[in-house]
Amino acid sequence: MFSSLFNSSKNRGNSAFIHLFLLAYTLLALFPVFLIIINAFKTRKGIFNDPLALPTSATFSTKGFEKVMANSDFFHYFSNSLIITLGALFFILLLGAMIAWALSEYKFFGSSFMRFFMAIGIIVPIRLGSVSILETIVSLDLVNTKTALILVYIAQGLPMAVFILSEFMAQIPKELKEAARCDDVSEYKIFFQIILPLTRPAIATVAVFSIIPIWNDLWFPLILAPGEEARTVTLGVQQFIGQYVTDWNSVLASLTLAVVPVLILYMIFSKHIIRGLTAGAVK
Amino acid sequence: MASVSLKNIHKSFGKIEVIKDVSLEIESGEFVVFVGPSGCGKSTLLRLICGLEEITSGVLEIGNENVTSLSPRQRGIAMVFQSYALYPHMTVYKNMAFGLKTAGEDKSKIDQKIRDAAKVLQLDQLLNRRPAELSGGQRQRVAIGRAIVREPRVFLFDEPLSNLDASLRIQMRIEISRLHESLDCTTIYVTHDQVEAMTLADKIVVLSEGKVEQVGTPMSLYNEPANLFVAKFIGAPAMNLIQAHTKAPLEDNEPRYINAEISGKSVRLPCLSYNYKDNQNLTVGIRPEHINILGEDQKTQILEEDLQLPVVIDLVERLGDVSYLYIHMEDGTPVVVTVSGQSKLNIDKKINLHIPATKIHLFNESGERIM
């Protein structure tokens, strides 16, 4: 769609403008990340003297990383974050795809209410329900567990996942399902072997959208799992931020390290965001 | 192989009734073509037989077994879709194997079946390709192959050739015909293309607005259309339809003629028995190839009851082997005449048509055939 827009000479000026705008936005978005990474490699003095400067031989230091690495708790936080993110992601994608398929393919009692219910989930931020979520988690005796966070994050991610996936699934040619039904293929097999593979680009999109808020979240770990056992990276970093003194080297180093897994996950999923997977199915 | 029997089938979408009381018997091994203009319900009827749509009322039997409320997978049918509906993420081999694996068949047996089908359809070289890497004709063959390997009781084709270009369509038409000869399987085929219908069918079912207009062999439909709709639909160029009015029967009138008036000219129309009154509307049908041009063809024998009409030529289309003359009668009624060879007649020339009485089709006021 965009390539055809850019190819026509008439729109070349327009396309240059769009690119310029996107470039500016990219710089703006990357600037804080860039700032964190360069300062993570500087001495404390270097950070405060000139925060915008690149590390020089005089200011270069990996003291922050050494401190973080030496702190064995950090890897514990790290694995907590990873387990929670991947666990929640797995269920968001599986359940989201199943709900989306059910809503787009079958008409059943309460299906329109279900759709409406999911739409509300997109509109209303989950944090508004923090109090009752906390009450529920307490009554389930799940405080300070990873399970509590995974459950909450599934609830947080599902509505958007269902919304995106059901739109996408509605576009899958209905002849494919009909052909499969004529071919004596069960509904489960149609879902897992035809619909899911064809929905892969949308699933990758949803995965990328879901990972980042979960990984970065501070709110729910803080109120649901502040204990040592289920502490996540974002919460773990807070121990370096004191009321009077903040260990900026460690904070920035741990934040830099925390970017890495998200980056890797993002690269894995973005590779699958490819269009035209259904080419050759019909016509 | 199985017979298919439709008994008083109705189908409504909400308040709109799209299939109105269709009853039909299809014998085992027969090749039946549903034909009709778009929106006539032919695809819906096929989907009802397939089980993709629910039958509102009526009974459907396949092989003398009531399958009205069974799901597609229980009916023992295989369908080939207009859009092929191949699974895009699977190779040709997997596409064909997919339905069989589910049925829990033996692996080597499945493999054998697929290899056999691939050989018949010349897909041997393509088994490891994906649908996106195939041409339209090849995709169509894969879709047919996927149906064949299931060894269904009934084959269903939903306009399978309409996405192909003209030359490929003719080639695939011949292949489907040959395939039916060798498999000898009950086949129901939907098309809007009457050439496909005429060439493939043992039996044609002409549908219009959800009703069966006529069922019969291609030639019986051509030679004796039951009503005006079938007369207009079957044959290209379409049958010429000329309005006529009856005139009061004379006392000494021979009973095998109807006195009538065409374009202000008194004629006698041959008819075995038809009780008519004064000034009734009739339609005279005559196929373009049955009209002769007086003076052009010396061999024409003119009988007393044959019609002769003066006309003017509007347009001449020469296709090489035949020429189509587009002409109009004195009252403006358009007529098409097919003449063999390359006609030397020119536009605006006045000629006389000769319509042999034996070739005339007669339809009454409500469009039913009377002769």
- Give the pLDDT confidence of B155-167 residue by residue, as tens digits: 999 998 888 888 8
Identify whether residues A12 and A134 lie together within a single domain.
no
Instruction: Give the distance from residue A243's alpha carbon to the nearest chain B alpha carbon, in angstroms.
Output: 57
pLDDT, average across residues B243-258: 70
* pLDDT at A23 exceeding the cut of 90: yes
* pLDDT at B251 exceeding the cut of 60: no
Residue B88's Cβ-count burial label (10 Å; 0-12, 13-18, 19+) is buried
pLDDT band at A86; cut points 50, 70, 90: very high
What residues in A contact B50, CB-CB < 8 Å?
Answer: 182
Identify whether residues A37 and A176 lie together within a single domain.
no
Q: Residue A79: give the domain boundaries.
A: 70-270
Cβ of B81 within 8 Å of Cβ of A198? The answer is no
pLDDT, average across residues A74-83: 88
Residue B139's closest chain A neighbor by CA?
Answer: A280
Q: Return the top range by mean pLDDT from A137-141, B136-140, B168-172.
A: A137-141
Greater model confidence, B257 or A108: A108
pLDDT, average across residues A75-89: 91
Identify whether residues A38 and A147 lie together within a single domain.
no
The answer to whether residue A277 is domain-embedded is no
**Residue B27 corresponds to which tokens in the numbers above?**
């014998």
Nearest to A240 by CA among A226, A261, A254: A254
What residues in B contact A185, CB-CB < 8 Å?
Answer: 73, 98-99, 102
The answer to whether residue A282 is domain-embedded is no
Identify whether residues A207 and A102 lie together within a single domain.
yes
pLDDT band at A4; cut points 50, 70, 90: very low
Instruction: Give the distance from residue B138's alpha carbon to the nearest chain A alpha carbon, in angstroms.
Output: 11
Residue A200's closest chain B neighbor by CA?
Answer: B89
Q: Any chain A CB within 8 A of the CB of B129? A: no
Cβ of B139 within 8 Å of Cβ of A193? The answer is no
pLDDT band at B254; cut points 50, 70, 90: low
Q: At what angle do helices A248-270 and A63-70 cross, to 10 degrees?
A: 80
CA dihedral B283, B285, B288, B289 (to 10 degrees): -160
* pLDDT at A278 exceeding the cut of 50: no
∠ CA A209-A213-A215, nearest 5°, is 110
Identify whether residues A45 and A7 lie together within a single domain.
yes
Identify whether residues A84 and A11 lie together within a single domain.
no
* pLDDT at A181 exceeding the cut of 80: yes
Cβ of B102 within 8 Å of Cβ of A183? The answer is yes
Q: Any chain A CB within 8 A of the CB of B103? A: yes
* pLDDT at A14 exceeding the cut of 80: yes
Q: Any chain A CB within 8 A of the CB of B72? A: yes
φ and ψ at residue A182, rounded to 5 degrees? -65, -30
Give the range among A220-229, B78-87, B242-251 with minimum mean pLDDT: B242-251
Identify whether residues A149 and A29 lie together within a single domain.
no
Cβ of A173 within 8 Å of Cβ of B139? The answer is no
Mean pLDDT of chain B: 87
Model-level pTM? 0.78
Identify whether residues A134 and A23 lie together within a single domain.
no
Identify whether residues A168 and A256 lie together within a single domain.
yes
Length of chain A: 283
State residue A201's pLDDT score.
84
Q: What confidence tens digit (pLDDT) does each residue in B13-61 have?
A: 989 999 999 999 999 999 999 999 888 989 999 999 999 999 999 999 9
Q: Any chain A CB within 8 A of the CB of B231? A: no
Give the range among A76-85, A88-97, A230-239, B280-289 with minimum mean pLDDT: A230-239
Instruction: Give the distance from residue B163's alpha carbon to the nearest chain A alpha carbon, in angstroms.
Output: 7
Identify whether residues A26 and A100 lie together within a single domain.
no
* pLDDT at A279 exceeding the cut of 60: no
pLDDT, average across residues B287-302: 79
The answer to whether residue A276 is domain-embedded is no
User: What's the CA gap between A171 and A165, in Å, rounded?
Assistant: 10
Cβ of A182 within 8 Å of Cβ of B77? The answer is yes
Nearest to B59 by CA among B10, B96, B106: B10
B41-62 residues labelled b (16+ CB within 10 A) or e (exposed):
bbbbbbbbbbbbbebeebebbb
Q: What percent of chain B has pLDDT over 90?
A: 39
Q: What confidence tens digit (pLDDT) does each residue in B88-105 have?
A: 889 999 999 888 876 677
The answer to whether residue A58 is domain-embedded is no
State how far the alpha carbon of A149 is from the alpha carbons of A137, A152, A156, B52, in Å. 9, 5, 10, 44
Give the range among A102-106, B114-118, B170-174, B278-282 with minimum mean pLDDT: B278-282
Q: Which residue do the tokens 């799940």 mark?
A: A142
Instruction: Give the distance from residue A174's alpha carbon to the nearest chain B alpha carbon, in angstroms.
Output: 9
Greater model confidence, B255 or A244: A244
pLDDT band at A7; cut points 50, 70, 90: low
Cβ of A178 within 8 Å of Cβ of B86? The answer is no
Q: Any chain A CB within 8 A of the CB of B79? A: yes
Identify whether residues A45 and A145 lie together within a single domain.
no
The answer to whether residue A79 is domain-embedded is yes
- Cβ neighbours of A82 (radius 10 Å): 15
> β-pairing, B31-35 with B203-208?
parallel
Domains of chain B: residue spans and CATH: 4-229 (3.40.50.300), 240-363 (2.40.50.140)
What CATH number did the domain enclosing A183 receive? 1.10.3720.10
The answer to whether residue A63 is domain-embedded is no
Cβ of A183 within 8 Å of Cβ of B98? The answer is yes
Q: Any chain A CB within 8 A of the CB of B132? A: yes
Q: What confidence tens digit (pLDDT) does each residue in B345-370 have?
A: 888 888 888 888 888 898 888 888 88
**Residue B131 corresponds to which tokens in the numbers above?**
């649908």
Residue A19's Cβ-count burial label (10 Å; 0-12, 13-18, 19+) is exposed
3-state secondary structure string across B221-276: HHHCCCEHHHHHHCCCCCCEEEEEEECCCCCCCCCCEEEEEECCEEEEEECCCCCC
Disruptive mutation site among A184, A278, A282 for chain B (greatest number of B CBs within 10 Å): A184
Cβ of B150 within 8 Å of Cβ of A181? The answer is no
Identify whether residues A190 and A258 lie together within a single domain.
yes
Q: What confidence tens digit (pLDDT) does each residue in A110-150 have?
A: 888 999 999 999 999 899 999 999 999 999 999 899 999 99
DSSP B285: E
State residue B202's pLDDT score.
93
Chains A & B: contacts with CB separation below 8 Å: 86
Residues 6+ apart with CB under 8 A from A270: A204, A208
User: What's the CA gap between B181 and B277, in Å, rounded?
Assistant: 51
Give the range among A6-10, A105-109, B178-182 with minimum mean pLDDT: A6-10
Q: Give yes or no for a contact between B127 and B90, defined as CB atoms under 8 angstroms apart.
A: no
Q: How many structural domains comprise chain A?
A: 2
Looking at the partner chain, which of B85, B99, B132 has a beta carbon nearest the beta carbon of A185? B99
State how far the alpha carbon of B231 is from the alpha carbons of B145, B338, B355, in Å. 36, 17, 17
**Residue B94 corresponds to which tokens in the numbers above?**
């997997």
Disruptive mutation site among B50, B90, B91, B102 for chain A (greatest number of A CBs within 10 Å): B102
Instruction: Give the distance from residue B59's alpha carbon to the nearest chain A alpha carbon, in angstroms.
Output: 20
Looking at the partner chain, which of A184, A197, A278 has a beta carbon nearest the beta carbon of B73? A184
pLDDT band at A6; cut points 50, 70, 90: very low
Cβ of B102 within 8 Å of Cβ of A173? The answer is no
pLDDT band at A275; cut points 50, 70, 90: low
DSSP A193: I
pLDDT band at A283; cut points 50, 70, 90: very low
Looking at the partner chain, which of A173, A186, A281 has a beta carbon nearest the beta carbon of B102? A186
φ and ψ at residue A2, rounded to 5 degrees? -70, -35
Bridge partner residues of B22 (DSSP) = B9
Cβ of B85 within 8 Å of Cβ of A278? The answer is no
Cβ of A281 within 8 Å of Cβ of B88? The answer is yes
Cβ of B83 within 8 Å of Cβ of A185? The answer is no
Dihedral sign for Cα B8, B2, B208, B281, please: negative
User: What's the CA gap between B269 and B259, in Å, rounded?
Assistant: 6
- Cβ neighbours of B251 (radius 10 Å): 5
User: What's the CA gap between B342 and A203, in Å, rounded?
Assistant: 64
Looking at the partner chain, which of B79, B83, B86 has a beta carbon nearest the beta carbon of A182? B79
DSSP B8: E
Ramachandran bin of B266, using left for φ above 0, alpha for ψ from -120 to 50, beta for the remaining angles? beta
- Cβ neighbours of B11 (radius 10 Å): 22
The answer to whether residue A64 is domain-embedded is no
The answer to whether residue A140 is domain-embedded is yes
State residue B255's pLDDT score.
61
Q: Any chain A CB within 8 A of the CB of B130? A: yes
